């Protein structure tokens, strides 16, 4: 599933091929009138990716669980069927194709700003503001850590994998509620998620718990458990021994 680091990597791959380039062809048909525009910037915010055009319009995409960008040379055979292409941006030297993304919409700059206004600070942004994340975490409804980390209004970009991995690394029970933690403890979870995801940008990070239900925990050798958590339900993987709620 795409997480914030996937979207960052995608933006890094798209920028040199699209920014400053004129779009010769844009598909499918509902976007064809964008041909002739020049891409001026590509931004991400959490899992949202924005392609700004010199015409004052913005292509807003969200990959959710299924979307992925492919880059091709003009004329190269696509690795997915054309009907799955939700957006095609063709320049002189590149065809950037977005497959299976559930959100692809054309917005004005002002509307794009509004769409993103509810999001918390991007967990991967260079100017990340940990105090703002804490403020938002405290202001949100009392929710278990496993749900809080996925709440894009608190911090944008953390997905299910890094939710599980970060909670394991800081030894916190995913069912423990955020309001039971000190600012220091809560800040440490988000700081760890940021560090882990920055590491993932540089290369693959091995998973300690995610996808490892029934196997031994690398720290204590108890079995890793897996249960649905939240609405919509997402699988939470954790070690019940080293992530046990602390006794008081």
Q: Which residues are catalytic?
A: 2-3, 47
CA 146/CA 10 separation, integer angstroms: 26
CB of 239 to Zn ion, least distance (A): 3
Counting contacts by CB under 5 A, is residue 242 touching Zn ion?
A: yes
Q: What is the side-by-side strand order in the sheet with 95-99?
A: 25-27, 85-90, 95-99, 68-72
Kindly state whether residue 219 participates in binding Zn ion, applying the rule CB under 5 A: yes
What's the min distance (Å) between Cβ of 123 and Zn ion? 25
Could you tell me if 156 and 62 are in contact, meaning their C-beta atoms sit under 8 angstroms apart? no
Residues 47-106 close enough to bind Zn ion by CB under 5 A = none
Nearest residue (CB) to Zn ion, 164 versus 239:
239
Select from 1, 24, 65, 220 the one that contacts Zn ion (CB under 5 A).
220
Interaction mask 168-207, Zn ion, x per CB under 5 A: ----------------------------------------
Q: Which residue has the tokens 């970060």?
A: 166
Q: How many residues bind Zn ion (CB under 5 A)?
A: 7
- The minimum distance between CB 241 and Zn ion, in angstroms, equals 5
- In this chain, which stretch among 18-26, 66-74, 169-177, 239-247 interacts with Zn ion, using CB under 5 A? 239-247
Residue 239, interface with Zn ion (CB under 5 A)?
A: yes
Two tokens at 225? 């458990």
Nearest to 103 by CA among 64, 77, 136, 70: 64
- Give yes or no for a contact between 58 and 45, defined as CB atoms under 8 angstroms apart: no
Count CB-CB contacts under 10 A for residue 5.
24
Residue 241 binds Zn ion, judged by CB under 5 A: yes
C-beta of 78: minimal distance to Zn ion in Å?
Answer: 44
The minimum distance between CB 244 and Zn ion, in angstroms, equals: 9
**59, 46 Cβ separation under 8 angstroms:** no
Q: What are phi and psi of 7, to 5 degrees?
A: -65, -40
Instruction: Tell me how many degrees the CA angle 215-217-220 measures, rounded to the nearest 5.
Output: 135
The number of residues in the chain equals 248
Exactly one of 165, 217, 229, 236 binds Zn ion (CB under 5 A); which one?
A: 217
Among candidates 239, 231, 234, which has minimal Cα distance to 1? Answer: 234
Stretch that binds Zn ion, among 22-30, 70-78, 85-93, 219-227 (CB under 5 A): 219-227
- Give the binding site for Zn ion (CB under 5 A): 217, 219-220, 222, 239, 241-242
């Amino acid at each position: 599933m795409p997480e914030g680091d996937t979207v960052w990597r995608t933006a890094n791959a798209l920028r040199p091929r699209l920014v400053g380039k004129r779009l010769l062809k844009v598909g499918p048909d509902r976007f064809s009138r964008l041909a002739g525009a020049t891409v001026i910037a590509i931004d991400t915010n959490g899992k949202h990716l924005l392609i700004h055009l010199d015409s004052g319009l913005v292509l807003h995409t969200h990959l959710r669980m299924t979307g992925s960008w492919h880059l091709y040379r003009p004329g190269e055979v696509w690795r997915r069927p054309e009907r799955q292409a939700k957006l095609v941006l063709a320049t002189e030297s590149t065809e950037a194709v977005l497959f299976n993304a559930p959100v692809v919409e054309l917005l004005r700059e002002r509307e794009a700003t509004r769409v993103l206004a509810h999001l918390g600070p991007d967990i991967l942004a260079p100017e990340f503001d940990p105090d703002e994340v804490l403020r938002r975490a405290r202001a949100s409804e009392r929710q278990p850590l496993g749900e809080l980390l996925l709440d894009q209004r608190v911090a944008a970009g953390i997905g299910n994998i890094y939710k599980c991995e970060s909670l394991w690394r800081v030894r916190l029970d995913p069912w423990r509620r955020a309001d039971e933690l000190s600012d220091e403890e809560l800040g440490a979870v988000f700081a760890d998620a940021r560090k882990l995801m920055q590491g993932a940008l540089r290369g693959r990070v091995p998973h300690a718990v995610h996808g490892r239900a029934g196997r031994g925990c690398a720290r204590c050798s108890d079995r890793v458990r897996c249960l649905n958590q939240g609405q919509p339900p997402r699988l939470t993987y954790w070690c019940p021994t080293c992530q046990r709620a602390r006794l008081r």
